[in-house]
């Protein structure tokens, strides 16, 4: 089992999380509470964010032992182990066992590859039949603020409308175009993506797709709602 790595996606995700945390610093209260993270991966993207925001503390979770080992090494190399920790285990099990989320903000670049089943090149990237299983589960986990990546081919409208039904608004987002990589180009995956797009559940271009990192909130302290703008940015 190896760590997923995509320089463009990682850079976009880290930059977007940093910008959103900085812009909404006082409303998200992360200096007082810290944040939790679903799926740490190799920790490079958020490690850079922690390094650039001295008041930020992150408690991450990952189910992959090799990812946790790599993440801890990268965190130690950056000298931020006092503010960025990674635990091996299921994020949702840990959150439930604590009787509810300990902080109000969670961040994640969740797996979003759609396929009929998880028998794909890297099963850890499987996001369910429509690709949005993990982000929907995260929105249902009880956090007031969710900063998460949303892919244009993984039924983003269902994600946004489910979030609205749970009381969330899309306060802001940063979107970027990405080229198809080896995992989204796998024939089994591409057929599923094409089917989702034919059903009106996604969008792709000839060579790539869109990913947006969005701040969903149900806090009255954070004004605004850009849900429709997010869907237009994802070409829907």
What would the pLDDT profile of 74-133 be if each residue is shown by its tens digit? 999 999 999 999 999 999 987 555 444 579 999 999 999 999 999 999 999 999 999 999
> What are the tokens at 177?
């175009």
Q: Is residue 19 part of a domain?
A: yes
The rounded mean pLDDT for the chain is 94
Q: What is the pLDDT of residue 4?
A: 53
Q: Which residues pair with 88 in a beta bridge?
A: 62
Q: Are the beta carbons of 130 and 114 closer than 8 angstroms? A: yes
Q: Are the beta carbons of 84 and 57 closer than 8 angstroms? A: yes
Alpha-carbon torsion angle 109, 113, 114, 115, nearest 10: -140
| pTM, to two decimals | 0.94
Q: How many whole angstroms separate alpha carbon 27 and alpha carbon 23?
A: 9
What would the pLDDT profile of 197-220 be if each residue is shown by its tens digit? 999 999 999 999 999 999 999 999
Q: Is residue 69 part of a domain?
A: yes
H/E run at residue 215: strand 208-217
What would the pLDDT profile of 67-88 be if each residue is shown by its tens digit? 999 999 999 999 999 999 999 9
Q: Is residue 1 part of a domain?
A: no
Q: Is residue 234 part of a domain?
A: no
Q: What is the pLDDT of residue 93?
A: 86
Q: Is residue 231 part of a domain?
A: no
Q: What proportion of the chain, given as a percentage, has pLDDT over 70?
A: 95
Q: Is residue 85 part of a domain?
A: yes
Q: Is residue 227 part of a domain?
A: no
Residue 57 lies in domain: 7-218
Please state the domain count of the chain.
1
Give the CATH number, domain containing residue 11. Answer: 3.40.50.150
Q: Is residue 141 part of a domain?
A: yes
> With 70 as the cut, is the pLDDT of residue 134 above it?
yes
What would the pLDDT profile of 6-53 be if each residue is shown by its tens digit? 788 999 999 999 999 999 999 999 999 999 999 999 999 999 999 999
CA-based angle 193:196:197, to the nearest 5?
85
């Amino acid at each position: 089992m190896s760590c997923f790595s995509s320089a463009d996606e990682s850079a976009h995700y880290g930059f977007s999380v940093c910008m959103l945390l900085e812009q909404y610093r006082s409303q998200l209260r992360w200096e007082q509470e810290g944040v939790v993270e679903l799926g740490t991966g190799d920790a490079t993207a958020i490690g850079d964010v922690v390094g650039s925001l001295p008041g930020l503390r992150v408690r991450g979770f990952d189910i992959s032992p090799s990812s946790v080992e790599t993440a801890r090494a990268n965190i130690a190399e950056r000298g931020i182990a006092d503010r960025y920790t990674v635990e091996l285990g299921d994020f949702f099990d840990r959150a439930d066992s604590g009787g509810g989320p300990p902080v109000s903000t969670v961040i994640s670049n969740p797996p979003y590859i759609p396929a009929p089943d998880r028998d794909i090149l890297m099963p850890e990237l499987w996001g369910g039949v429509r690709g949005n299983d993990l982000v929907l589960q995260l929105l249902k986990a009880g956090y007031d603020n969710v900063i998460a990546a949303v892919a244009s081919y993984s039924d983003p409208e269902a994600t946004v409308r489910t979030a609205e039904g749970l009381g969330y608004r899309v306060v802001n987002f940063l979107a970027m175009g990405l080229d198809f990589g080896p995992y989204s180009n796998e024939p089994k995956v591409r057929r599923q993506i094409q089917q989702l797009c034919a059903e009106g559940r996604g969008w792709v271009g000839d060579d790539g797709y869109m990913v947006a990192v969005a701040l969903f909130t149900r806090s009255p302290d954070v004004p605004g709602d850009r849900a429709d703008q997010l869907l237009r940015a994802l070409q829907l």
